[in-house]
């Protein structure tokens, strides 16, 4: 039973890290990346649908994205969704698709994005610590021997430290990527 609690905690921590990684991919680095559009969806026949599911997204140049919908009737919806998002990129509609030009980032904007990454990192660390707390409480309810309980609590802490280190490595990598010109 204690092993199941550890496995469940590890799964939850991994999900928190996966969520963090997907959020990091949506933060722009000055290079065109189709992942920038992952958080944007449109109402497609009454169903919220990701832009990448209704359009082909290509990267014709390093600083440009081109979105060509499979169904031209959603072109205006895609344009509106991009304008309403927090991307800060003005869409250019050419009648067949939408072009997004990613401007060179200023140092000020880079620092702002690094701060945003730091906030995301802290939120993920808090989620991991909450999972640790829940696992510790579940272990204490099992009424194990004092030595067994101490051993399992140490295992949970070791797991927590490992997962937090993974988050810190991902943050450092993304921050370096953002500050690299």
Query: What domains does the chain contain, in order, with CATH numbers?
Result: 2-25+106-179 (1.10.132.20), 34-101 (3.30.1360.40)
Give the pLDDT band of residue 38 (cuts 50, 70, 90).
confident
pLDDT at 29 over 70: no
Confidence of residue 181 (pLDDT cuts 50, 70, 90): low
With cut-offs at 50, 70 and 90, classify the pLDDT of residue 137. very high
The residues, any chain, with a CB within 8 Å of residue 127's CB and separated by 6 or more, are 16
What pLDDT, in 10s, does the model give residues 68-101? 999 888 889 888 888 888 777 888 999 899 998 8
Total-model pTM: 0.70
CA dihedral 9, 12, 18, 19 (to 10 degrees): -140
């Amino acid at each position: 039973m204690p092993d199941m609690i550890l496995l469940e905690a590890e799964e939850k921590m991994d999900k928190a890290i996966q969520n963090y990684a997907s959020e990091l991919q949506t933060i722009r680095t000055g290079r065109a990346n189709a992942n920038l559009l992952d958080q944007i969806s449109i109402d497609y026949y009454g169903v919220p649908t990701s832009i990448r599911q209704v359009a082909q997204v290509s990267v014709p140049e390093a600083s440009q994205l081109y979105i060509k919908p499979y169904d031209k009737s959603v072109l205006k919806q895609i344009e509106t969704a991009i304008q309403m998002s927090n991307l800060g990129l003005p869409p250019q509609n050419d009648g067949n698709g939408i072009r997004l030009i990613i401007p060179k980032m200023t140092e000020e904007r880079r620092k702002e994005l690094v701060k945003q990454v730091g906030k995301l990192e802290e939120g993920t660390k808090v989620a991991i610590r909450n999972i640790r707390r829940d696992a510790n409480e579940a272990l204490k309810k099992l009424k194990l021997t004092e030595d067994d309980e101490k051993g399992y609590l140490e295992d949970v802490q070791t797991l927590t430290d490992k997962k937090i280190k993974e988050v810190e490595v991902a943050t450092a990598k993304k921050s370096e990527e953002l500050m690299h010109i």
